[in-house]
Amino acid sequence: MNHILFVLLRRLRTPLITVIVVYAVSILGFVLIPGVDDEGNVWRMDFFHAFYFVSFMGSTIGFGEIPYAFTDGQRMWTIVTIYATVISWLYGIGKMLSIFQDQAFIRLMNRLSFVRDVKRLREPFYLVCGYGMTGARVVEQLSKRGIQSVIVDIDRERIDALETDEIDFSVPGLCADASQPDVLSEAGLESPYCVGVLPLTDHDTVNLAISIASKLIAPDRPVICRTESDITTANLASFGTDHIIDPFVTYAEYLALALHSPYKHLAYDWLTNPEHRSITSAYQETQGRWVICGYGRFGRALYQSFKDTPVELTIIDYDRSRVCEEIDFVEGLGTEAVTLDEARIRDAVGLIAGTDDDANNLSIIMTALELNPKLITVARQNLSSNARVFDAARTDLVMEPSRIIANNILSLIKTSLLGVFLDEMVHRRDDVWAHELVNRMSTVAGDQELDSWAFTVDPECTPALSKALEEGKVVDLSLFQEDPRGMNRHLSAFPLMLKRGEQVKLLPDESTEVQAGDAILFCGLSGAFHQMQWTVSNFNVFSHVIGDTDGQGGWLARWYRKKKLS
Amino acid sequence: MNREKVIFAFFIVLALTLNFGFFVGDTGNPDHHNVYELYAAIVVSLIATVLKFGDRTHIGAVLLATSLVADLQLVAAAIVWGAAEHIMVNGMTESVMASVVSLSAGALLANITSVILLMVETIMIRR
């Protein structure tokens, strides 16, 4: 704030001195010029009257010629001073207004108010660098969960959009280059309330710079970084970035999962994607030959993750040199029926339109469906503004990089246990197990959004439960599913995983006893989460749920009960 | 030669000399104290204050403070004078004049401090 005051004062030096000098000369003039009083005697204004007169004249209020009517000499001087004072005032005020409208000054003000907002934050927040499609989605979802974020973006328009976007509370945003450590530090990188850094800009180098800065300043703070090239991924991993998300690799793995184990894929989708698909959409007819249009980053990632599955691949690309020899290859864009025919689209089971042009992808899908209506189609959507068209095209799957990154980040932020669970499920369980899981999820959530959350049994996270365990009470997992609002009703949620020490148990039994230090992952409706929080945190609700009437009420009620008994 | 420094030193010293000129003389005697001199001292002191606006050096901030003190004292003296002449029934008496002059004496001290600071700053510059 001091800084602004200095700038303001320095720029106001000249106008202020002008006003002082003009006033001084005007007042002196009135004191020196002789006047006449009402009786015709020579009378001189003193400084008091002169200052009074110039004050109201200069500000164009104008009370008239007081205390006595002026002589012609005084009037002549008045004419001169009217113009001089009014002009000097206008000059001063104009100068001040121009300072307030000065772009540099406004930027300075914005920056200072941003720094102040960040300093005032007294709750955990995520530092989001880059407020593009991905960033906006992440911030919106975070705000829905009541988590604060701080935004840095280099684009003025995006920061302006922050005001109008649907965020439940005001989020501080700064227009600056996030790769500069100064900017990061102002955005709260050093703040103890910053719980994570999310570099989500379009530039890998910037993301890299942010990650390094964050890891150097606060090594324990998680960094979830977006990347688009393998070199950056390796670089990020080398200094311990916690999570690295490459949208193309992630989606390719996701798609590969859909092909070889449809129910695992569905379970994965339900847990990571708020708009999950219906249970009937699990693909059965996926074994066979797939056609991939476009062998760019996405195509290459797909090829890598499809290599180990029993799936044949045909690639269509306009550039022969990008593809190595042993792949079945057709040269062309894929938008024309000739190219698609050459790729034998009529006997393929699926088509992936993965070029970096939305119009081309749609055209490929439509042409291919005319040739083979039974095709499973996957389209890559590059711009989120095209969502409407992609909806209308009725493709089976849409791959939208920004959505993938956002969903991944959110599932990582919700709880770190979810990542462990998904990893276990994908690599250690079979599809039949996943089928049962999906059925269970479906009975709990139906068409609503499936949420997931975790509790660690410790005095901070679950005070009521921890105290009961300390007192030697035996509590099992079914406690969590009790609805505190009524006996014999169950919450729409079930435990996904129990982590005890280094051991994890997937889908633990309800009769499993809870021990201090356990971490339990649940999935269900978000309403159930709030009820569960009541049960484990509030001593009275907890006593009510386990049916222990002695523990209920405040000390007054307990004292009264004891008295009544004795 | 730094033009800004010349202008500032000029005004700071002028404020001191004018103030001193007003101050010397018999404390209670209105004939010894010229109203024009007080007026000039106020104007010059105000200009000297504005000239120090936005100076971020430490000595600049202290100079701003001392000249603000001088302004305050001189304006108070002018208000006392004006009030005595026009508002009070007795008009300008010896005791009122004494208080005006003592106020300006306070301002004089502040002006002297300013000039000393200015000299210190000048001496500290090594070329």
Q: Please give the pLDDT value at position A94.
A: 92
Q: Is A90 on the interface with B (CB under 8 A)?
A: no
Residue A276 — pLDDT band, cuts 50, 70, 90? low
Q: Is A95 on the interface with B (CB under 8 A)?
A: no
Distant-in-sequence, close-in-space partners of A411: CB < 8 Å, separation ≥ 6: A271, A272, A418, A419, A422, A452
The answer on pLDDT for A227 being more than 80 is yes
HSE-up (13 A, CA, CB side) for residue A56:
11
Nearest to B39 among A8, A9, A47 (CB): A47
**Residue A264 within a domain:** yes
**Residue A295 within a domain:** yes
Q: Please give the pLDDT value at position A512.
A: 83
The answer on pLDDT for A316 being more than 50 is yes
Instruction: In whole angstroms, give the CA distance from residue A98 to residue A277.
Output: 57
**Residue A31 within a domain:** yes
CA-based nearest residue in chain A for residue B61: A6
CA-nearest of A533, A272, A281, A527 to A421 is A272
Residue A99 — pLDDT band, cuts 50, 70, 90? confident
- Determine, for residues A46 and B78 on separate chains, whether the beta-carbon distance falls below 8 Å: no
- Determine, for residues B54 and A9 on separate chains, whether the beta-carbon distance falls below 8 Å: yes
Burial of A395 by CB count in 10 Å (0-12 exposed, 13-18 middle, 19+ buried)?
buried
The answer on pLDDT for A281 being more than 70 is no
Q: Are B43 and A24 in contact (CB under 8 A)?
A: yes
**Residue A561 within a domain:** no
Percent share of chain A, pLDDT over 70: 94
Percent share of chain B, pLDDT over 90: 57
Give me the mean pLDDT over the A112-121 stretch: 89
- Determine, for residues B85 and A16 on separate chains, whether the beta-carbon distance falls below 8 Å: no
Smallest CA–CA distance, residue A30 to chain B, in Å, is 13
- Quick count: other Cβ atoms within 10 Å of Cβ B41? 28
Residues in B touching A9 (Cβ below 8 Å):
53-54
Q: What is the pLDDT of residues A422-458, one digit of tens each?
A: 888 888 888 888 888 888 888 888 778 888 888 888 8
**Residue A22 within a domain:** yes
Give me the mean pLDDT over the A360-389 stretch: 85
Same domain, A89 and A177: no
Smallest CA–CA distance, residue B97 to chain A, in Å, is 16
**Residue A441 within a domain:** no
Q: Are A316 and A354 in contact (CB under 8 A)?
A: no
Distance from chain centroid for Cα A115: 19
- CATH number for A496: 3.30.70.1450
Instruction: In whole angstroms, give the CA distance from residue A389 to residue A412.
Output: 30
Q: What is the pLDDT of residues A23-49, one digit of tens each?
A: 999 999 999 998 888 888 888 888 888
Q: What is the pLDDT of residues A450-490, one digit of tens each?
A: 888 888 888 888 888 888 888 888 888 888 887 877 766 78
Residue A408 — pLDDT band, cuts 50, 70, 90? confident
The answer on pLDDT for A283 being more than 60 is no
**A201 - beta bridge partners?**
none
Same domain, A217 and A323: no
Q: Are A198 and A152 in contact (CB under 8 A)?
A: no
Residues in B touching A24 (Cβ below 8 Å):
39, 43
Number of cross-chain residue pairs from A and B with Cβ atoms under 8 Å apart = 42
- Determine, for residues B46 and A9 on separate chains, whether the beta-carbon distance falls below 8 Å: no
Nearest to A10 among B54, B78, B82 (CB): B54
Q: Is A22 on the interface with B (CB under 8 A)?
A: no
**Chain A interface mutation, best of B3, B4, B36, B39, highest count of A Cβ atoms under 10 Å:** B39
Instruction: In whole angstroms, give the CA distance from residue A310 to residue A273.
Output: 27
Q: Is B75 on the interface with A (CB under 8 A)?
A: no
User: DSSP character for A508?
Assistant: -
Total of domains in chain A: 4
- Determine, for residues B53 and A10 on separate chains, whether the beta-carbon distance falls below 8 Å: yes
Instruction: In whole angstroms, give the CA distance from residue A300 to residue A304.
Output: 6
Q: Please give the pLDDT value at position A62.
A: 77
Same domain, A239 and A268: no
CA-nearest of A370, A319, A299, A378 to A340 is A370
Q: Please give the pLDDT value at position A280.
A: 65
Smallest CA–CA distance, residue B61 to chain A, in Å, is 11
The answer on pLDDT for A530 being more than 50 is yes
Residues in B touching A20 (Cβ below 8 Å):
43, 46-47, 50
Residue A226 — pLDDT band, cuts 50, 70, 90? confident
Instruction: In whole angstroms, give the CA distance from residue A307 to residue A343.
Output: 19
Q: Is B85 on the interface with A (CB under 8 A)?
A: yes
- CATH number for A27: 1.10.287
Give me the mean pLDDT over the A257-280 stretch: 76
Q: Are A242 and A222 in contact (CB under 8 A)?
A: yes
- Determine, for residues A28 and B39 on separate chains, whether the beta-carbon distance falls below 8 Å: yes
CA-based nearest residue in chain A for residue B38: A47
Same domain, A268 and A398: yes
Residue where the block lists tokens 């500032």 = B8
Instruction: In whole angstroms, give the CA distance from residue A258 to residue B85.
Output: 97
Q: Is A1 on the interface with B (CB under 8 A)?
A: no
Q: Please give the pLDDT value at position B73.
A: 95
Q: Are A247 and A405 in contact (CB under 8 A)?
A: yes
Q: What is the pLDDT of residues B53-78, one digit of tens each?
A: 878 788 888 999 999 999 999 999 99
Burial state string for B62-91 with b = 16 or more CB within 10 A and e = fewer than 16: bbbbbbebbbebbebbbebbbebeeeeeee
Higher per-residue confidence, A344 vs A17: A17
Smallest CA–CA distance, residue B85 to chain A, in Å, is 9
Residue A95, token pair as written in the block: 């100068």
- Determine, for residues A20 and B82 on separate chains, whether the beta-carbon distance falls below 8 Å: no
Residue where the block lists tokens 């030669």 = B1
Q: Please give the pLDDT value at position A1.
A: 47
CA-based nearest residue in chain A for residue B47: A17
Total of domains in chain B: 1
Q: Please give the pLDDT value at position A10.
A: 83
- Quick count: other Cβ atoms within 10 Å of Cβ A404? 21
Q: Which helix (H) or strand (E) holds A264?
A: helix A262-272
The answer on pLDDT for A342 being more than 60 is yes
Residues in A touching B82 (Cβ below 8 Å):
47-48
- Determine, for residues B85 and A48 on separate chains, whether the beta-carbon distance falls below 8 Å: yes
Same domain, A316 and A380: yes
Predicted-assembly ipTM surpassing the 0.95 threshold = no
- Determine, for residues A13 and B78 on separate chains, whether the beta-carbon distance falls below 8 Å: no
Last residue of a domain, one of A215, A245, A275: A245
HSE-up (13 A, CA, CB side) for residue A281:
15
HSE-up (13 A, CA, CB side) for residue A343:
36
CA-nearest of A201, A227, A204 to A133 is A201
- CATH number for A355: 3.40.50.720
Q: Are A114 and A172 in contact (CB under 8 A)?
A: yes
Percent share of chain A, pLDDT over 90: 9
Residue A70, token pair as written in the block: 């002026």
Q: Is A24 on the interface with B (CB under 8 A)?
A: yes
Q: Is A7 on the interface with B (CB under 8 A)?
A: yes
Same domain, A96 and A133: no
Higher per-residue confidence, A324 vs B52: B52
Last residue of a domain, one of A43, A67, A101: A101
CA-nearest of A346, A341, A306 to A327 is A306
Residues in B touching A31 (Cβ below 8 Å):
36, 39
**Residue A116 within a domain:** no
SS3 annotation, chain B:
CCHHHHHHHHHHHHHHHHHHHHHCCCCCCHHHCCHHHHHHHHHHHHHHHHHCCCCCCHHHHHHHHHHHHHHHHHHHHHHHHHHHHHCCCCCCCHHHHHHHHHHHHHHHHHHHHHHHHHHHHHHHCCC
Same domain, A229 and A288: no
Tell me what the pLDDT averaged over chain A comes to.
83
Domain span at B76:
3-124
- Determine, for residues B54 and A28 on separate chains, whether the beta-carbon distance falls below 8 Å: no
Same domain, A125 and A267: no
Residues in A touching B46 (Cβ below 8 Å):
20
Q: Is B4 on the interface with A (CB under 8 A)?
A: no
- Determine, for residues A7 and B54 on separate chains, whether the beta-carbon distance falls below 8 Å: yes
Same domain, A278 and A399: yes
Q: Please give the pLDDT value at position A393.
A: 81
Q: Please give the pLDDT value at position B98.
A: 93
Last residue of a domain, one of A364, A388, A414: A414
Nearest to B51 among A13, A28, A48 (CB): A13
Same domain, A126 and A80: no
Residue A204 — pLDDT band, cuts 50, 70, 90? confident
Nearest to A48 among B54, B55, B82 (CB): B82
Higher per-residue confidence, B101 vs A530: B101
Domain span at A171:
121-245
Percent share of chain B, pLDDT over 70: 98
**A380 - beta bridge partners?**
A399
Instruction: In whole angstroms, give the CA distance from residue A496 to residue A395.
Output: 31
Give me the mean pLDDT over the A215-241 stretch: 85
Residues in B touching A47 (Cβ below 8 Å):
35, 39, 78, 82
Q: Cα torsion at A123, A124, A129, A131 (round to 10°)?
A: -60
- Stretch among A13-27, A298-312, A515-529 having the lowest mean pLDDT: A298-312
Distant-in-sequence, close-in-space partners of A520: CB < 8 Å, separation ≥ 6: A454, A455, A456, A457, A477, A480, A495, A497, A498, A499, A508, A514
**Residue A63 within a domain:** yes
* Coil, helix or strand at residue A250: helix
Model pTM score: 0.69
**Chain B interface mutation, best of A13, A18, A28, highest count of B Cβ atoms under 10 Å:** A13
Instruction: In whole angstroms, give the CA distance from residue A58 to residue B6.
Output: 31
